[in-house]
């Protein structure tokens, strides 16, 4: 099987080949940029994960606020006891 | 002619190989990014769960603290009223002489143990202060 091409056709084929090579190089460059950007995203996701880990450790003791609220209620109850005691004593002192 | 065919084949192979390599690299990177984002999502859920109880408890603490802060001046006023109205007088301590050491013969308890009560000078040998206390 013999392909018979004119000189003009061969020239166009060569141009198409060089254009294809240029496309390959361009695609490689663009994909390199894509890889670099995705690597940057990966590093920043790692940074976000570290920050979230610290935030989770900081908020893990927030459940103690419930205990603190109960303690403040006990302080209020004790203050009411003091109020009643002082009221009785004050009444006796004045009488 | 043949060189053109070979060059074309090389061109196509380069394109496919380059795409495959970059696809492999980017695929690995995106997999790691996805794993990291999943872990971030779990951490955010934990933080949300931890922070869900902060607001209610803080409002409770603030409300109770305001009540305590408002009641403390009342307690101060009552305590000051008690201090002003108190008429405390210290109890007078009676004057007494200096404590003297026990002198004389000490009464032996051996006789008491056997039921013998001698009548002698040591029958009532007690310490002077004890005597005063008994007489008083």
Q: B44 and B59: one domain?
A: no
Q: B60 and B38: one domain?
A: no
Angle between helices B54-85 and B2-51 (to 10 degrees): 30
- Return phi, psi of residue A38, to 5°: -65, -35
B27 is a domain residue: yes
- Whole-angstrom Cα distance, residue A80 to residue A88? 12
Q: Give B103's DSSP letter.
A: -
B23 is a domain residue: yes
Hey, what long-range contacts does B116-122 have (CB within 8 A, 24 or more apart)?
A: none
A56 is a domain residue: yes
B123 is a domain residue: no
Q: Distance from B22 to chain A by nearest Cα, in Å?
A: 6
Does residue A91 belong to the interface with chain B, where contact is any CB pair within 8 Å?
no
B36 is a domain residue: yes
Q: How many independent structural domains does chain A possess?
A: 1
Q: How many independent structural domains does chain B possess?
A: 2
A2 is a domain residue: no
Q: How high is the mean pLDDT in each 10-residue block of chain A (95 residues)?
A: 78 92 93 95 96 93 90 92 88 77
The answer to whether the predicted template modeling score (pTM) of the entire model surpasses 0.95 is: no
Looking at residue B116, its pLDDT comes to 73
Query: What are the structure tokens assigned to A18, written together?
Result: 């060089």
A1 is a domain residue: no
Looking at residue B65, its pLDDT comes to 92
Structural domain boundaries enclosing A31: 7-94
- Whole-angstrom Cα distance, residue B18 to residue A31? 9
Looking at residue B130, its pLDDT comes to 46
B101 is a domain residue: no
Q: B61 and B44: one domain?
A: no
ipTM of this predicted structure: 0.73
CB distance A31 to B21 below 8 Å? no
Helix, strand or coil, per DSSP, at residue A44: helix
- pLDDT bin (cut points 50, 70, 90) of residue B133 is very low
Structural domain boundaries enclosing B29: 11-52
Does residue B33 belong to the interface with chain A, where contact is any CB pair within 8 Å?
yes
Tell me the per-residue pLDDT of A67-89, one tens digit each, with 9 for 90 and over.
Answer: 999 999 999 999 999 889 888 88
A15 is a domain residue: yes
Please give the average per-residue pLDDT across B97-121, as a whole number: 71
Instruction: Kindly determine whether residue B43 and residue A72, on different chains, have CB atoms separated by under 8 Å.
Output: no
Helix, strand or coil, per DSSP, at residue B27: helix
CB distance B15 to A23 below 8 Å? yes
Please give the average per-residue pLDDT across B61-65, as a whole number: 93
Using alpha carbons only, what angle is made at residue A77 by residues A75 and A78, rounded to the nearest 5 degrees? 65
B31 is a domain residue: yes
Average predicted confidence (pLDDT) for chain A: 90
């Amino acid at each position: 099987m013999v392909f018979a091409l004119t000189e003009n056709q061969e020239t166009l084929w060569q141009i198409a080949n060089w254009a294809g090579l240029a496309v390959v190089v361009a695609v490689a460059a663009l994909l390199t940029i894509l890889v670099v950007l995705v690597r940057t995203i990966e590093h920043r996701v790692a940074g976000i994960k570290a920050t979230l880990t610290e935030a989770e450790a900081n908020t893990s003791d927030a459940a103690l606020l419930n205990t603190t609220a109960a303690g403040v209620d006990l302080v209020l109850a004790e203050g009411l006891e003091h109020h009643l005691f002082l009221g009785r004593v004050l009444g006796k002192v004045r009488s | 002619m043949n060189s053109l065919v070979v060059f074309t084949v090389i061109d196509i192979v380069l394109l496919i190989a380059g795409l495959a390599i970059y696809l492999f690299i980017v695929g690995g990177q995106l997999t790691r990014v996805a794993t990291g984002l999943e872990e971030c999502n779990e951490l955010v859920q934990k933080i949300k769960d931890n922070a869900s109880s902060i607001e209610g408890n803080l409002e409770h603490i603030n409300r109770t603290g305001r009540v305590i802060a408002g009641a403390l001046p009342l307690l101060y006023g009552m305590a000051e009223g008690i201090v002003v109205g108190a008429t405390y007088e210290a109890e007078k301590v009676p004057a007494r002489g200096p404590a003297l050491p026990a002198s004389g013969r000490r009464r032996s308890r051996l006789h008491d143990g056997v039921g013998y009560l001698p009548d002698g000078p040591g029958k009532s040998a007690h310490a002077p202060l004890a005597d005063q206390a008994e007489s008083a």
